[in-house]
Amino acid sequence: GAGVSQSPRYKVAKRGQDVALRCDPISGHVSLFWYQQALGQGPEFLTYFQNEAQLDKSGLPSDRFFAERPEGSVSTLKIQRTQQEDSAVYLCASSLLNTGGNQPQHFGDGTRLSIL
């Protein structure tokens, strides 16, 4: 496909379970971002990869959140010991390398995570 693909689209988990969310970026896109969007809010930055290197993880809310992109393409966001406040839509975005702020980000449809 031509766009950013995220799976699963919906995930329901019990509090305390671990979850893994997948992102397939657009082929050839060097930059990959994860955002968290709570209901009625704008997306909030979580982490950024350039190829396989995680260059910024300052937005991850706790050490229960972990992201990886081992081969510089597919990325996985893992949340351990989930809590109710983790319920949100998790969005992945990719872009060509941004050398001067001239590259738009392309977003997937997100994974809606509900913690019971």
Partner 1 sequence: KQEVTQIPAALSVPEGENLVLNCSFTDSAIYNLQWFRQDPGKGLTSLLLIQSSQREQTSGRLNASLDKSSGRSTLYIAASQPGDSATYLCAVGDRGSTLGRLYFGRGTQLTVWP
Q: Which residues bind partner 1 (CB under 8 A)?
A: 4, 6, 31, 33, 35, 40-45, 48, 55-56, 91, 93, 95, 98-110, 112
Return d(Cα 19, Cα 42) in angstroms, integer. Answer: 23
Q: CB of 10: closest distance to partner 1 in angstroms?
A: 10
As a whole number of Å, the CA-based R_g of the chain is 13
Q: How far apart are CA 15 and CA 26, in angstroms?
A: 32
* Contact yes or no for 77/21 (Cβ under 8 A): yes
Of 44 and 68, which CB lies nearer to partner 1 in the complex structure?
44
CB 67 within 8 A of CB 57: yes
Residue number with CB closer to partner 1 (6 or 75): 6
Q: How far is the CB of 86 from partner 1 (least distance, A)?
A: 19
Name which of 84 and 99 has its Cβ closer to partner 1. 99
